[in-house]
A and B are shown apart, each in its own frame.
Chain A
Amino acid sequence: MPDIDTTVANTGPLLSVSGVAKSFTMHLRGGIRLPVVANVAFELQPGECVVLGGPSGVGKSSILRMVYGNYSVDSGQILIRQRGDGEMANLATGEPRLVLALRRDSIGYVSQFLRAVPRVSAVDVVAEPLVARGVERDVAAKRAGEMLERLNLPSALFELPPATFSGGEKQRVNIARGFITDHPLLLLDEPTASLDATNRDVLVEMIREKLGLGTAILGIFHDMPVREAVATRVIDVSAFSARDAA
C-alpha cells in the first residue's frame, strides 16, 4: 500500500471505548428490555490485534457493531482517531455524517455476511471503498482484482455479482473489500468462518501485514489457530455482560 498514512501511528490509541452500555427494548414484545453489555471499556493501540472473547451471546458482535455505528449505544463514548487530522471523534454521539466520514476514512469492517447489491460485480464490490475515496475506477478495479487473486477467487468470477457465490467465495469478497483500504482501524467479525485452510493462511498473512503497517484490529475469531496466530491480546467480554444483572 503506497499511500499508507503513517502520521496517525505512535500518537496514542486509535480507538478508546469507555462506559458503553447497550440494551434492546422490544416494543413488539410488551416493551421488555434486554440488557446486552454495560461498562464496556478498552483501548486499541496502533499495530494491536485485540480479540473479543467469551461465549456465544455475550455481546461480542454487538460491541463490534457499536464501534462501527451500526448499533446505537445507551451511554458511554466511543472515540475514534480520525484519519485526516488525527483528532479523536466520538462516534457514539456523532451525527450520521460523522459516522459516514469515519467509515469512509478511518474504520473498515468485514462482516460475516455479504450484503450483495444486485447486478454489481465482485470486482466492483471490492473496489467501491476506494472509489468512494476518490480513487480512479480503473485503478481501484485493478487493485480489487489483485486482492481477489491473492485470496484465490477464480478470475472467472470477478465480473459476476456475488449473489450466487458460495459462502467461502462471498467471504473472500468481503475480506478483500475490507482490506483494500488503509483504514487505521479494522473490525473483523469471524472473517474465517467459511474459509478453507489455504485461504485462512492467506488471511493470517494479510492481518499480519496490516498490523505491521500500524493498523489496529478488533476482531471476533472462533477459529483457535487463527486467533493464536494473530491476537496480541484477548478481552473477555463476559466481564461486560449485562445479562446477569437483568
Chain B
Amino acid sequence: MIPELGHLALWLALGVSLVLGTMPMVGAARGRLDWTALARPSARVLFALVALSFVCLAASFAGNDFSVLYVASNSNRLLPLHYRITAVWGGHEGSILLWLLMLTFWTAAVAQFSRHLPDAMSARILAVMGWLSFGFLLFVLTTSNPFDRLFPAAAEGRDLNPLLQDPGMVIHPPMLYMGYVGLSVAFSFAVAALIGGNLDASWARWARPWTTAAWFFLTIGIALGSGWAYYELGWGGWWFWDPVENASFMPWLVATALIHSLAVTEKRGSFKSWTVLLAILAFSLSLLGTFLVRSGVLSSVHAFATDPKRGLFILAFLVIVIGASLALYAWRAPSVGLGARFSLVSRETMLLGNNVLLVVACGAVLLGTLYPLALDALNLGKISVGPPYFDTVFVPLLTPLVFLMGIGPLARWKEAELPDLAKRLKWAAGSAVVATIVAIWVHGGIGIVGALGLLMAFWIVASVTTDLVERLQPPAGTRVALLQRARLIPRAMVGMMIAHLGVAAFILGVTLVKSGEVERDVKMEIGDTTEIGDYVFTFRGVREVPGPNYRAAQGTIEVSEGGRAVATLHPQKRIYTATQAAMTEADIDTGLTRDLYVSLGEPVANGAWIVRVYYKPFVDWIWGGCLIMGLGGVLAATDRRYRQRAKKTVRTDALGAVLGTT
C-alpha cells in the first residue's frame, strides 16, 4: 500500500508541475495576477508531494518490503537501519528521486524567499523550475520508477553496494545534489530574465545569494566525495579524474566563474550577457553530468545502473532544456547591451580573466571526459585519458588564475593603475617569495611544480592579508578603532577573503601531498616492522571480527615515533554476506600535518599479509581548504544587504497592499 501511495504522489506531482510550468508563465505574459498567484502554492504542494513519495520509499526500505523491486535490489534484512534509509539513494531510481526532492525543495525555497521580487519575475522563475520538475518527474515515472513491484516478492534483498555502506555516503549524495540542483535556481533566474527582458543589475543581485548557496553545497559535496574515495577505496588517492568526479567538477568550475561574474554584473552592470550564459551553462553541465553518469556512455568505477533507454530520455531532456535556453539566449541576449565601460587595468578585467580561465579549465575537463566519447562517435576507438592529461592541462591554467586572485580584490573597479597596484602588492609578492624559499629550505627539495604550488599558496595568503590590512587602515586624518573598522567590512567581503584562503589551504595540501607522500606495499609477518621517516609501523597480526552483515579480517598495526606510541590502527578486509563482495577498510591516524594510512592487501602465508602503509603529509588540508571555501560561501550568501533589502521590500509590499485595499 505504501509504495502505491508514493507512486500516486509522483503522478499528482506531475500534474502540479504542469500547472506550475504553464499558468504563472502565461499569467506573467498577460498580466493576470490570479494566474501568477498560483506559482507559490503550486511550488509548495509540489514539494510536499515529492517529499511524501520520498518518505514512502524510505518507509519501504525501513520495513524491508522486498516486494518492491528497487528495495530488493538495494537492501537486505541484515543491513543496519541507518544504511537502509540511505540505501534509498543507493541506486539509480532512488538517486533520481533524491534529485527531484532537492529540485522541488529549491523551488519551494524560492517561493518562500522571493517575495521581494516583482510578481511577474518570481512567477516566471517558479514556472521554469516547474518545467524542470515536470521533465524529471516524467523521467522517473516512465523509465525509473522506484516503486515497481516484484512478484513474487523476494525473500531477501540483494543488499546495498558495500562501497556505499559508509557514513560519507550518507551525506555525500544529498550535498552534491543540493549543489547540482541548486544551480537550477540561477538557471531559472536567467531564463526568466531572458523571457521577461529585464536583465539588469537587480537581476544579478537577486541571483547572487542563491548561486553562492548552491556553490557552497557543491563544494562540500565534492569534498565529501573526494574524502570518501580517499578512505573507502583503500588506495589512498583523493581525486582520480574519473568521469563521475569530472561531472561534478565541471559545474563547480562554471559556478565559480558565475559567482565572480555576477559580482561584476551587479556592481557595474557589465558582462550581462556573459553572466546569463554562465548561469545557463552551469546548470546545463549539471544535467550533462547526470546524463554521463546515468546513461552508460562512459564507463566508470562508480557508475551504477546504466541503461540506454534512460540515456535517450535524459539526452532528449538535455536537448530540450539546454537547446531551448541557448536558443532563447541567442534571441534575447543581443539586445541586452554592454553595460559600463572599463579600462584594460581594472577589477573587471581581472574578473574577466578569472572567468575565461575557469571556463577554459572546464572546457579542458569536458574535453578530457568527452574526448573518448567523441573519438568513439567518429569510429576511432575507446580510450581513457587520465591524470597525465589533466595534470598537464591544469597547472598552466591554475597559475595565472591564482595570480589574478591576489590582484583582483585590490584593483579598483572601472580603472586601476598598474604602478599603484604594484606598489601595494610588493610586500605581498616579496613575502610570498621569502616564505616559499624558507619553506623549501625547511622541507627539503620538492621540485619545480612543488615550489610553484607553495608560491601560489603563499601569494594568496599574502595578498589577502594586504587587502585586509588596507581595509582596516583608517583613512588619513580620522581615528577609528580597529574593531570598528573591522565591523565595517561587509560580510560578503569577509566571505571572499576566507574562500580565497581556503583555496590557499587546498593548494598547500595538494602540493605537499604530491611532493612528500610515501606509499609502501610491504609483506609483513607478525612482529615485522617497517619505517617511514621517523614512524615505525609494527604488524601485530590479523584476526576475524564479525560485523552486522559482513565478516572481517582485522589487522592490528602499532605506530610509534621515536619509541613513543602514536596510534594503533585496525584496517579491515570485509566480506559482505549477501553479495560476497570484498571491501577494504583503511584505518587512518589523522593529524594536522600528516595522515598515517594503513590498509590490508592480500594474505600471503603463515599469518603474513601484504600491508599498504602510506604517509600523507598535509592531506587533510585538501578537504580543510574546501571546508574553508564553503565557509566563505556561507558568509557571502548571508550578507546583511540581501536580508535587509528583502525585509525592506516586504514592508513596502505590505504597505502597497494596504494602500491598494483602501
A and B bind: no
